[in-house]
């Protein structure tokens, strides 16, 4: 089959690879009808997260049709079922799964010794996301093997387009979870850094959850426009001082809730000198992440406020002002999304036309255009916001 494989920094190729096969009684094989490129894939594209190997198949936002299934799964899933595949592989049975902490499932990471060494504990197996999370081949491919399929996938009905359903695999639950865990009150100002696909979903979730005011920060005009269309007041960090503007919009108090929808790769510019410092340290391998937004959020957040971080951090971040965070009494919530906790409810909201996440798609192309689309998406060329690939 054809699949997008990682071969090193900024080197993704559309390769011919071996078809996946059933390896366990809880496996299924999905024929992929749609998959997408995520901002998380860019961290791998830039080789900023360790433990990728040449030939690893990329992709963790996938949906399709069940084409192979073991008899033991009969009744739970059937051949021909249409399924969305969340990026988190979950056993459904361990203590963490039982508590709904799916992204830290204790059993689905088949290389848990690596995660234990890096993080102190294992986290869940993820599709197409390094050997720290199991080294599972991803879904930017014609076929995908899904382990623990009965607890991992979300069945979806016919009659709704792939474009409306695909993002149940990741960015929709991610934007939703980050807003839910911000515990939004009707009097809250919610400030959201980064208006990529995740930021867009977070903006709409914060509006839906009843925030008084949602403020979105980025510098790309087309993304700011999309944020505004979703109900946000926008700040362009190239043109305005973010902290000053946020204080102005909150009568000097600062936002109650701050959400980081970009993570470890802050834009680097001399007008934000700490980003230049981080970039220099990265070059000398003295720091892995560029946490400009963490610093900014801690500084501007109202005392007693909450910081929610869906943006991915990979390793070590310097000069994070813990003194300010501690003395202001801030609460932090973060993590890879517990996707399966939200999919059924969000599917219902899509069916009821409360949410239609397809608005974020700007490019839809065949799988073999994937390698060039990684660049288009990374460089934000052609007003690219979200790429869907059709194998
Ligand atoms: N927690 C999870 O489970 C989960 C799931 C999906 C994605 N993610 C992460 O969410 C993040 C965003 O993903 P995406 O697909 O939207 O990515 P993206 O790269 O398309 O969007 C990031 C946006 O941040 C903006 N930005 C850069 N520096 C900024 C700054 N200093 N201030 C404000 N905005 C800035 C960029 O212009 C860009 O529009 C990534 O880190 C990704 O890994 C996490
Ligand atoms: Zn993702
Ligand atoms: Zn589990």
Give the model confidence (pLDDT) of 40-62 as tens digits.
999 999 999 889 999 999 999 99
SS (H, E, C) the chain: CEEEEECCCCCEEEEECCCCCCCCCCCEEEEEEEEEECHHHHHHHCCCCCCCCCCCECCCCEEEEEEEECHHHCCCCCCCCEEEECCEECCCCCHHHHCCCHHHCCCCCCCHHHHHHHHCCCCCEEECCCHHHCCECCCCECEEEECCHHHHCEECCCCCCHHHHHHHHCHHHHHHHHHHCCCCCCCCEEEEECCCHHHHHHHHHHHHCCCCEEEEEECCHHHHHHHHHCCCEEEECCCCCHHHHHHHHCCCCCCCEEEECCCCECCCCCCCHHHHHHHHHHHCCCCCCECHHHHHHHHHCCCCCEEEECCCCCCCCCCCCHHHHHHCCCEEEECCCCHHHHHHHHHHHHHCCCCCHHHHCCEEEEHHHHHHHHHHHHCCHHHCCCEEEEC
Tell me what pLDDT residue 141 has.
Answer: 98
Q: How far apart are CA 118 and CA 315, in angstroms?
A: 9
- For residues 111 and 123, what is the distance between their CA atoms, to the nearest angstrom? 10
pLDDT at 259 > cutoff 90: yes
Pocket test for ligand 1, best of 61, 168, 178, 196 (most atoms within 8 A of CB): 196
The closest residue, in CA terms, to atom 15 on ligand 1 is 39
Ligand 1 atom nearest to 217, measured from its CA: 33
Query: Beta strands 2-6 and 12-16: pairing type?
Result: antiparallel
The residues pairing with 388 across neighbouring beta strands, listed in sequence order, are: 36, 364
Give residues whose Cβ lies within 5 Å of ion ligand 2.
Answer: 38, 40, 170
In ligand 1, which atom is closest to the CA atom of 219? 37
CA angle in degrees (0–180, nearest 5) for 317-318-320: 90
Q: Could you tell me the two tokens for 378? A: 């990374």
Cβ distance 217 to 191 under 8 Å? Answer: yes
Query: How confident is the model over 163-209, as pLDDT tens digits?
Result: 999 999 999 999 999 999 999 999 999 999 999 999 999 999 999 99
Token pair of 376 as six digits: 């288009």
Q: What is the mean pLDDT of the chain?
A: 97
**Least distant ligand from the CA of 166:** 2
Average pLDDT over residues 103-122: 96
Q: What's the pLDDT score for residue 11?
A: 98
Provide residues with CB under 6 Å of ligand 1.
38-40, 42-43, 170-171, 174, 193-199, 217-220, 223, 237, 261-263, 266-267, 292-293, 310-312, 336-337
Q: Where on the phi/psi map is residue 319: left (φ > 0), alpha (ψ -120 to 50), or beta?
A: left
pLDDT at 72 over 90: no
Apex 117 CA angle, 114 and 123, nearest 5 = 65
pLDDT (mean) for 319-344: 98
d(CA 391, CA 64): 10
Q: What is the Cα–Cα distance from 13 to 54, expressed in whole angstroms?
A: 10
Ligand nearest to the CA of 148: 3
Task: From 124, 198, 267, 381, give the residue whose CB has the most ligand 1 atoms within 8 Å, as the site to mutate.
Answer: 198
Residue 102 has pLDDT above 80, yes or no: yes
Q: Cα(339) to centroid of ligand 1, in Å?
A: 18
Specify the pLDDT at position 318. 95
The band of 71, judged by pLDDT with boundaries at 50, 70 and 90, is confident
Which is nearest to 175 in space by CA: 97, 249, 230, 255?
A: 230
The pLDDT assigned to 74 comes to 76
Predicted confidence (pLDDT) at residue 150 exceeds the cutoff of 90: yes
CA of residue 103 to ligand 3 center, whole Å: 8
Long-range contacts of 265-270 (CB under 8 A, 24+ apart): 265/42, 265/43, 265/46, 265/48, 265/289, 265/290, 266/290, 266/291, 266/292, 266/293, 267/219, 267/237, 269/238
Calpha distance 25→70 (Å, rounded): 6
- Which atom of ligand 1 is nearest the CA belonging to 103? 3
pLDDT recorded at residue 179: 98
Supply the pLDDT for residue 50.
Answer: 85
Report which ligand 1 atom has the smallest distance to the Cα of 197: 16
pLDDT above 80: residue 227 = yes
Whether the predicted pLDDT of 327 surpasses 80: yes
Atom number in ligand 1 closest to CA 199: 16
From 36, 37, 40, mutation site for ligand 1 pocket: most ligand atoms within 8 A of C-beta? 40
């Amino acid at each position: 089959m054809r699949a997008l494989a990682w071969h090193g920094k900024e080197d993704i190729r559309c390769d011919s690879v071996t078809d996946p096969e059933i390896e366990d009684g809880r496996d299924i094989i999905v024929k992929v009808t749609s998959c997408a490129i995520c901002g998380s894939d860019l961290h791998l594209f830039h080789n900023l997260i360790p433990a990728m190997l040449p030939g690893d198949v990329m992709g963790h936002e996938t949906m399709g049709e069940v084409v192979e299934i073991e008899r033991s799964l009969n009744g739970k899933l059937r051949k021909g079922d249409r399924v969305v595949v969340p990026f988190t592989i979950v056993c459904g049975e361990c203590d963490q799964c039982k508590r709904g902490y799916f992204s830290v499932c204790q059993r689905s990471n088949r290389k848990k010794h690596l995660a234990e060494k890096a993080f102190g504990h294992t986290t869940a197996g993820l599709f197409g996301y390094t050997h720290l999370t199991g080294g599972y081949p991803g879904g930017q491919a014609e076929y995908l093997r899904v382990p623990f399929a009965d607890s991992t996938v979300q069945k979806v009905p016919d009659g709704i387009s792939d474009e409306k359903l695909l993002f149940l695999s990741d960015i929709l639950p991610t934007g939703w979870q980050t807003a839910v865990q911000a515990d939004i009150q009707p009097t809250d100002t919610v400030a959201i850094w980064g208006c990529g696909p995740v930021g867009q979903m977070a903006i709409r979730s914060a509006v839906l959850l009843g925030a008084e005011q949602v403020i979105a920060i980025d510098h790309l005009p087309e993304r700011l426009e999309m944020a505004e269309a979703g109900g946000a007041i926008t700040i362009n960090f190239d043109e305005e001082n973010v902290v000053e503007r946020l204080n102005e919009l909150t009568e000097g108090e600062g936002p109650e809730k701050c959400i980081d929808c970009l993570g470890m790769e802050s834009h680097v510019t001399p007008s934000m000198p700490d980003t230049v410092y981080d970039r220099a340290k990265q070059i000398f391998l003295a720091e892995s992440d560029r946490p400009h937004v963490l610093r900014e959020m801690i500084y501007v957040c109202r005392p007693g406020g909450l910081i929610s971080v869906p943006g991915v951090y990979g390793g070590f971040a310097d000069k994070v002002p813990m003194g300010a965070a501690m003395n202001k009494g801030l609460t932090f919530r973060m993590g890879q999304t517990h996707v399966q906790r939200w999919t059924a409810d969000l599917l219902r909201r899509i069916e009821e036309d409360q949410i239609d996440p397809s608005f974020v798609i700007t490019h839809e192309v065949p799988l073999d255009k994937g390698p060039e689309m990684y660049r288009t998406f990374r460089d934000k060329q052609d007003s690219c916001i979200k790429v869907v690939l059709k194998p």
